[in-house]
Structure 1
Amino acid sequence: MDFTLHHQAVNSSARAGTLETGHGKIETPIFMPVGTAGSVKGIHVKDLHEDIQAQIILGNTYHLYLRPGTAIIEEAGGLHKFNGWNGPILTDSGGYQVFSLGDIRKLTEEGAKFQSHIDGSRHLFTPESVIDIQRKIGADIIMAFDECTPGDAEYDYAKKSLELTQRWLDRCVNQMEKTNPLYGHGQSLFPIVQGAVYPDLREAAAKFVTNIPSDGYAIGGLSVGETEKDMYAMIEVVTPILPKEKPRYLMGVGTPINILQAIDRGIDMFDCVMPTRNGRNGMLFTKNGLINIKNRKWADDFSPIDADGTSFVDTQYSKAFLRHLIVSNEMLGSQIASQHNLAFYLWLVKEARKQILANTFKDWKEEMVQKLGNRL
């Protein structure tokens, strides 16, 4: 995998680059639609590619391991063959999902013991097994197994958690070296910077991962309960330490405003369930602010969902019709809202890239942040 940094914006750390993988190029900054179980909820592959213009999607090791299971995916020839998506795929190692299980998981030096949220069956994830699972899934970019430290963790806990993550990272690297890709294309391992909201831990974590030659680096453990101020502060600690010639991935973040602020601080890659999850609940993101389509005011508004939108659904359907579908719990309503939101997110990062290359990013970002905070 190769990353080319084309330009850094004036008066900003915002960057425009190109990431080349075995399944195609990715222009950064980029947002990755989340396909937790191998598919982006409610969205056809054709629409992902042609309408939403996604360049890379995300799958999750925890969910794919439990269902359908790695044996089925391997028999299919990997996730690309299984789900029909021919572009790049990134897999999250499952660290966050294990973290979110709470009382039905236990961390040890060996790994993470947990009970399935599906049937209560017991399982063990180790750094080695997680690498093996991701080999079988066949994603282009795979993540190291880590503990996702809670945003409100005390310092001593965060320090011990980080040290565990670092020991696990060494084991992930060793397992990568012992194994090979299964489907004829390369796989790149991204280490993850943890450290909660403590600058010294984040700094130490960033320095630790840069000692490991990698095709890219991730920042985890943010947007997990800490304030936005703390999140931005931690990004500012980490990004100057990470290699400029490698992509930087901020995991699980976030709102359109979060994304613009993180791009301004030097982040290249993002993922979040928000576009589809909020869409299913009737929340639409637009260039001029948020629309809660469930509000009574839209019941007889026959104007397009978003006259400035980039998806065909934006002009194909009216606000009144979409509201009717959402309040009626019709499946099509969730699909339309999800497709609109994903197309908006991809438009946002594509436009950010244009502004970076034109040296107009900073002013444009400030203007967009003001608009995006509106409630329509």
Structure 2
Amino acid sequence: MFTLHKESSSTKARSGTLTTDHGDIETPIFMPVGTLGTVKGVSQDVLREQVKAQIILGNTYHLYLRPGCDIIQDAGGLHGFMKWDHPILTDSGGYQIFSLSDNRELEEEGAHFKSHIDGSSHMFTPENVVETQRILGSDIMMILDECPPYPSSYDYAKNSMELTHRWAKRGRKAFLETEGRYGHKQQQFGIVQGGTYKDLRRESALFMAELDFEGIAIGGLSVGEPADIMYEMTDYNTDDLPKEKARYLMGVGTPANLLECVARGVDMFDCVMPTRNARNGMIFTRYGKVNIRNAKWKEHHDLLDADFPSDLCSKYTMAYIHHLIRNNEIFGLVLASIHNLTFYLWLMEQVREHIKNDTFAEWYPKMAEEVDRKI
């Protein structure tokens, strides 16, 4: 259930609470990605206590392949398996199948694909991804969809959207006719598709709203299109999505992307960028992006940001972090990952506070510019 608390008077930004049986989620929110039941390099205790993550994301495709549904079911679901007693969202695997375009085949029944691990053949259908996510026991599950590439022709995007719609009806029916396995309620989100065509985007948004999902995601963006097109499509879609349902923009993005899309009415985000970029030496800060691998930091014996609540910023010097990252020391990769996630969740906390005080419209443009610059 989603409760809307406050709307910005000058933008489409809004704050709310998404209620699940494993806890309430204050929105707007960023979800750290734990593809295989772990956020790389970050323990569950640190995620909750330092990063202040309210919800994390797991991936049905990857967890289905390994460790497999039987093992997770024996552990009492993903919450028990990974010892995370807080909300979890699972992606259906549709995006992963899309990314395996050379190893998959779509048909009306579902998607045939070959494992990226051992080449074995599998099939996802709208019904069996519901069943798999019942076994995983996530608080929020996603429908099976097709994510069209960018660019796509109008005909391709239309046919893809219509397939997603047919799958959505079957997936919703399977969800409503089954029950969870572990004593807590699960929710199901629909996914809007339509490529970069406004009429298709509107048709898909209205279609998903009609199926009365517990929330609705905006899919098919952040797949290579320019940022201004992503913002345009997001802004257009949120006009047609019901106010009383949570809105989730999938796979987005940079700190600036998050701010711009909150202003366009989005409540939830996920992206691997904080941890993936951390492992490559990019540190996100409120003053901009730092490539800590650059030689200019080698003898920089100052703190990155003494007032920011992470050890990377307030305890260790930039020269030390540079040394760790350049030499691929695990401690450096862990510190950078924790810091970037902490920054993303801190940024969402600032967003919620500014929406509450109705100062978001004045605050976010300058903040978006600051966090996007290179230091």
Category of TM-score, reference length = shorter chain: over 0.9
1:235 maps to 234
Q: Per-residue deviation at 1:309?
A: 2.0
Separation in 1 of the partners of 2:316 and 2:126?
47
Deviations 1:33-56 (A, max 9, x none): 000001100000110000000000
Aligned residues: 375
2:197 maps to 198
Asked whether the 8 Å contact 2:191–2:219 carries over to 1, the reply is yes
Q: Per-residue deviation at 1:225?
A: 1.1
2:150 maps to 151
1:61 maps to 60
In structure 1, give the amino acid aligned to 2:13: A
- Equivalent position SS for 2:57: strand
1:119 maps to 118
1:210 maps to 209
Deviations 1:154-206 (A, max 9, x none): 11000000000000001101111221100010000100000010000000000
Q: Per-residue deviation at 1:303?
A: 1.6
Asked whether the 8 Å contact 1:51–1:312 carries over to 2, the reply is no
Superposition pairs of residues 1-376 of structure 1, within 5 angstroms: 2-376=1-375
Asked whether the 8 Å contact 2:306–2:315 carries over to 1, the reply is no
Q: Per-residue deviation at 1:312?
A: 3.3
Asked whether the 8 Å contact 1:310–1:347 carries over to 2, the reply is no
Deviations 1:4-33 (A, max 9, x none): 111001201000101110000110000000
In structure 2, give the amino acid aligned to 1:282: G
Separation in 1 of the partners of 2:124 and 2:57?
20
- Equivalent position SS for 2:303: coil
Q: Per-residue deviation at 1:310?
A: 2.2
Q: Per-residue deviation at 1:305?
A: 3.5
Separation in 2 of the partners of 1:345 and 1:241?
28
Q: Per-residue deviation at 1:148?
A: 0.8
Separation in 1 of the partners of 2:314 and 2:235?
40
Please say which of residues 325-334 and 200-209 is displaced more in the overlay: 325-334
In structure 2, give the amino acid aligned to 1:291: V
Separation in 2 of the partners of 1:169 and 1:150?
19
In structure 2, give the amino acid aligned to 1:242: L
In structure 1, give the amino acid aligned to 2:168: L
- Equivalent position SS for 1:142: strand
Separation in 2 of the partners of 1:323 and 1:134?
41
Separation in 1 of the partners of 2:55 and 2:103?
32
Q: Per-residue deviation at 1:302?
A: 1.8
Q: Tell me the TM-score normalized by structure 2.
A: 0.99
Please say which of residues 312-321 and 52-61 is displaced more in the overlay: 312-321
In structure 2, give the amino acid aligned to 1:368: M
Asked whether the 8 Å contact 2:311–2:335 carries over to 1, the reply is no
In structure 2, give the amino acid aligned to 1:352: V
Separation in 2 of the partners of 1:195 and 1:103?
22
Deviations 1:228-269 (A, max 9, x none): 111111112110111101110000000001100000000000
- Equivalent position SS for 1:191: strand
In structure 2, give the amino acid aligned to 1:245: E
In structure 1, give the amino acid aligned to 2:193: Q
- Equivalent position SS for 2:54: coil
Separation in 2 of the partners of 1:341 and 1:245?
31
Deviations 1:87-117 (A, max 9, x none): 1000000000000012111111111111111
Q: Per-residue deviation at 1:330?
A: 1.1
Separation in 2 of the partners of 1:81 and 1:314?
33
Taking every aligned residue pair, what percent have the same amino acid on both sides? Answer: 55
In structure 2, give the amino acid aligned to 1:36: T
In structure 2, give the amino acid aligned to 1:71: D
Structure 1 residue ranges without an equivalent (≥5): none
Separation in 2 of the partners of 1:361 and 1:4?
20
In structure 1, give the amino acid aligned to 2:317: S
Please say which of residues 332-341 and 264-273 is displaced more in the overlay: 332-341
Please say which of residues 159-168 and 364-373 is displaced more in the overlay: 364-373
Separation in 2 of the partners of 1:54 and 1:8?
23
Separation in 2 of the partners of 1:375 and 1:224?
23
In structure 2, give the amino acid aligned to 1:52: V
In structure 1, give the amino acid aligned to 2:275: T
In structure 2, give the amino acid aligned to 1:144: I
- Equivalent position SS for 1:323: helix
Separation in 2 of the partners of 1:154 and 1:309?
46
Structure 2 residue ranges without an equivalent (≥5): none
Separation in 1 of the partners of 2:82 and 2:311?
23
Deviations 1:332-352 (A, max 9, x none): 111111110000000011100
Q: Tell me the TM-score normalized by structure 1.
A: 0.98
